[in-house]
Structure 1
Amino acid sequence: WDDSVKGWTSFYTYNPDNIFSLRNSFYTIHKAAIWKHYEGVRSNYYGVQSNSSITFVFNPAPNTSKTFKTVEYEGDNGWEVESFVSGLTGVDSRSSGWDTTFDRTNAVLSYYGGQYDSNNVSYGQVGFGALPFYHAGFTRKENKYVANLINNSPEVYNVPGEVIFGRAISGIKGFFATVKIKTDSVTDVGGEKELFAVGTNYIGNNGY
């Protein structure tokens, strides 16, 4: 965000010294060197390979408290969920003072990032290990990548009165959830990874 233009100037994290285009090609200058963009390895800026990421909000039926049970996406192999966090509740009085609670899940590994073999050995690589292969993160179903959401909320954040919480339950509760999905460091690093749509399966609940 740039206050001088009252808008977002770029979705990229690299910091060029200058930007220009020539014959429909995009160039930047960084530390006295000229770099041509949109050519060759993706998510590589000035010789440093990075992970591309998108942060968004799931907010269906905004007036209803719900349990988010699964996450899915349509696109290329190689995306993983870094964080899936519910909204904060109102403040509660605890022995340590005033506090708010929230739910969060485990990270959801990519299709190959979470792959392990029949000997229960995790490789995170393609074509290694003993068949058959299983997947601890996203698995492929009808050409979509789908995964269950496993609650990973710290016990300190359990809601007063809850009997079962944290890793003992699946999914997370909340009116909405903030999600960060990013490319992994295993699948075709530097290759094209398109993302068309992301969805979640949820059910209504009685609130916190």
Structure 2
Amino acid sequence: MAKIVLGLAATHAPGITARAEEEPPHVRERVYGNYEKLRGVLEEAKPDVLLVVANDHVTYMFEIIPQFLIVVADEYEGPPDYEWLRIPKYKVRFKRDLAEHILNGLVERGFDIAFSANPILDHATMNPLHFLASDREGGVIKYPIVSLLTNAFVKPLPPLRRGYQLGLALRELVEQFPEDLRVAALATTWSPRLS
């Protein structure tokens, strides 16, 4: 059975790469130093998979704005805005069978979750992966991921209690997955309801 071996939270602020020179050196060093610490913690945990929960920046434009969306795909290369972000494009592998298991389990539990086989992962996902999980020379993210996006911008927003319920369901579904996997959960999102 799969198990969650680590939970991390990290900023995805695009300015940490796109406009880094605008900050004083001691501020940059603190941000990058903390990312290096988190990278070490992640490597120590030896995960087989990363479960990444990030917010959507209207990435799919206004064609679809789901409250929650899970990616059900095999691979991806991005981010789409890599030149602006000033990070390389990375090849990302998805743990599709785990994503499908989570998708089906969430629907069974009453979550009206959307899914996409055509992922678009912006800085909310790719900036943290750049710092925490990249093989920068090889141009790949070292761990396969399950990507879940939340609506954090366009009203109506999901209530905080629904996010909490989602977190409980994700843990339960990961632990019910029959493959022996070490899963690290990475939250890079926020709720404007907390602002």
TM more than 0.5: no
Report which of the two has the higher share of helix.
2
Indicate the structure whose relative CO is greater, using CA pairs within 8 Å and at least 6 residues apart. Answer: 2
TM category, shorter:
under 0.3
Point out the structure with max Rg over C-alpha. Answer: 1
TM-score by length of structure 2 reads 0.25
TM-score by length of structure 1 reads 0.24
Report which of the two has the higher share of strand.
1
